[in-house]
């Protein structure tokens, strides 16, 4: 944390010695014999951050944080409301405006680009400015933005990228890639008419970029179909991880065990699933065997980056908070958020607070609500049960007008819509339930309200007030002393 010390001048003339019975003031209101320079507070040059870690909870709006706070506490047998997630204890907090240049409600490509380039852009664009026409290669090449990942390596820092989403997905890709369309994760995804114009797919850009640790999901974008049955590249024999290992001498791993055994003094690329990594809620049922958790990946990233004498930049994304909400399954999103908080706690406990800036934020929110008047400690994934002391009005509000109960958690839109139902069913409850929603959509959508930014460490006092999202980039650069 920046500790700014104020020094007051102590030099006084003999007339102002301890034995003096009075002082006179000059025309500036200062004691006689004391200049403005002597009396003015002198701020020590703020400490710089050697390391910066940016944790991004994809889709982790404030309502998600509130619900996850309660959920985490209830998992320990508490009522939950009094609980705080690990990052909620940070001393500096701001609100962040998330809109894209062309959209009130943003997507992850535009928001992550703002954080990693210092400039807002249009929805669906990665590392390129708003004059880019989405899906048009030439316009993307003409409007390239700076990338924080590139700058960190140019300054001699180590670089790490961690995500539970595909490592080529929008948020992790914003660290290292530029693309006129966030969906160009593999070359086969680039429309035929845009191929051969100089634009590289995102997986290819990752393989060619300079970084030290990259961990996440998404094997398909790196292989052709004959090299891996999940392959999505045009060349059936393509094997980008092998190409990367041959070029860098780094280690490619596909399991948690292999990651733990990989040499610590070489770059490591870990891709642990065909697409996005397995939800934590599904792992409770035995799925995702062999995959590391977000905390596991954070542990490995920090262990490998901390040896760099110049410091490091690490971006850690909990990508599946967002996906749980899109599916209308709040329990999945909350379980991901609890794991996210666990990874952050590990970082807090295993970094030096005097030299490491840790920031926690979201790229955007979701249309996710906490409703009714449930009693204190009510199951956050359950039906609304009113407090006995609430009176008749509150008790009546625990039932809908159709006489049936409803859950505390719900969505404004999504796949659980009741809008076209002749009769609303009693809602599901529990970790795997799909919450009911109002407007029918194939997937629940993002929301446009501000998200929170929590910060601790050198430079964290910049996280105050209401900020534009691209200000996060400036906070990072200032903490490193780059401006």
pLDDT attached to residue 344: 98
Catalytic residue check, 14:
no
Q: What is the residue extent of each domain of the chain? A: 1-45, 51-367+445-480
Q: Which residues lie closer than 8 Å to 293 by C-beta, 6 or more apart? A: 280, 283, 339, 343
Judge contact between 55 and 356, C-beta under 8 A. no
At the topology level of CATH, where does 51-367+445-480 sit?
Alkaline Phosphatase, subunit A (3.40.720)
Judge contact between 32 and 13, C-beta under 8 A. yes
Instruction: Please write the tens of the pLDDT for every residue from 179-214.
Output: 999 999 999 999 999 999 999 999 999 999 999 999
pLDDT attached to residue 46: 59
What's the rounded Cα separation, in Å, for the pair 469 and 57?
14
Angle at the Cα of 64 (from 62 to 65), degrees rounded to 5? Answer: 65
Instruction: Please write the tens of the pLDDT for every residue from 102-155.
Output: 999 999 999 999 999 999 999 999 999 999 999 999 999 999 999 999 999 999
pLDDT attached to residue 76: 97
Angle at the Cα of 277 (from 275 to 278), degrees rounded to 5? Answer: 120
Question: For residue 308, what are its two tokens?
Answer: 């760099």
Percent of the chain with pLDDT over 70: 90
Q: Which residues lie closer than 8 Å to 370 by C-beta, 6 or more apart? A: 63, 66, 67, 408, 409
Residue in this structure with the two tokens 């980008």, named with its chain if needed: 240
pLDDT of residue 19 exceeding 90, the answer is: no
| Signed CA dihedral, 313, 360, 446, 274: sign only | positive
The active-site residue out of 63, 86, 108, 437 is 108
pLDDT of residue 24 exceeding 80, the answer is: no
Instruction: Please write the tens of the pLDDT for every residue from 375-402.
Output: 999 999 999 999 999 999 999 999 999 9
């Amino acid at each position: 944390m920046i500790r700014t010390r104020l020094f007051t001048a102590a030099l006084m003339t003999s007339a102002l010695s301890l034995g003096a019975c009075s002082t006179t003031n000059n025309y500036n209101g200062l004691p006689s014999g004391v200049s403005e320079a002597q009396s003015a507070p002198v701020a020590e040059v703020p400490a710089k951050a050697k390391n910066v870690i940016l944790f991004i909870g994809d889709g982790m709006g404030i309502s998600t944080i509130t619900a996850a706070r309660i959920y985490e506490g209830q998992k320990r047998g508490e009522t939950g409301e009094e609980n705080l997630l690990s990052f909620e204890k940070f001393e500096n907090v701001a609100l962040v405006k998330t809109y894209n240049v062309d959209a009130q409600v943003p997507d992850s490509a535009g928001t992550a680009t703002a954080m990693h380039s210092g400039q807002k852009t249009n929805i669906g664009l990665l590392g390129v400015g708003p004059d880019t026409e989405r899906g048009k290669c030439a316009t993307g090449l003409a409007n390239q933005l700076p990338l924080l990942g590139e700058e960190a390596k140019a300054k001699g820092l180590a670089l790490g990228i961690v995500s539970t989403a595909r490592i080529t997905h929008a948020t992790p890709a914003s660290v290292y890639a530029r693309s006129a369309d966030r969906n160009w994760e593999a070359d086969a995804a680039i429309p035929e008419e845009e191929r051969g114009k100089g634009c590289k797919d995102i997986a290819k850009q990752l393989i060619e970029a300079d970084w030290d640790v990259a961990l996440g999901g998404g094997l398909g974008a790196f292989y052709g179909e004959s090299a891996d049955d999940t392959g999505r590249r045009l060349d059936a024999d393509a094997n980008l991880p092998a190409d990367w290992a041959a070029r860098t001498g780094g280690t490619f791993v596909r399991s948690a065990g292999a990651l733990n055994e990989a040499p610590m003094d070489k770059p490591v690329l870990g891709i642990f699933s065909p697409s996005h990594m397995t939800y934590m809620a599904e792992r409770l049922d035995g799925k995702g065997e062999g995959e590391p958790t977000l905390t596991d990946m954070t542990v490995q990233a920090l262990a490998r980056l901390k040896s760099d004498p110049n410091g490091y930049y690490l971006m850690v994304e909990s990508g599946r908070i967002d996906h749980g909400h899109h599916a209308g399954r709040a329990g999945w999103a909350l379980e991901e958020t609890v794991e996210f908080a666990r990874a952050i706690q590990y970082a807090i406990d295993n970094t030096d607070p005097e030299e490491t800036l840790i920031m926690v934020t979201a790229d955007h929110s979701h249309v996710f609500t906490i409703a009714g008047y449930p009693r204190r400690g009510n199951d956050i994934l359950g039906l609304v049960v009113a407090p006995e002391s609430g009176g008749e009005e509150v008790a009546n509000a625990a039932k809908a007008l159709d006489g049936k109960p409803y859950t505390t958690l719900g969505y404004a839109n999504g796949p659980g819509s009741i809008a076209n139902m002749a009769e609303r069913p009693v809602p599901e409850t529990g970790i795997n339930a799909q919450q009911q929603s109002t407007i029918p959509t194939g997937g629940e959508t993002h929301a446009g309200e501000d998200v929170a930014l929590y910060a601790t460490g050198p430079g964290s006092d910049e996280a105050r007030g209401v900020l534009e999202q691209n200000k996060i980039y400036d906070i990072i650069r200032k903490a490193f002393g780059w401006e």
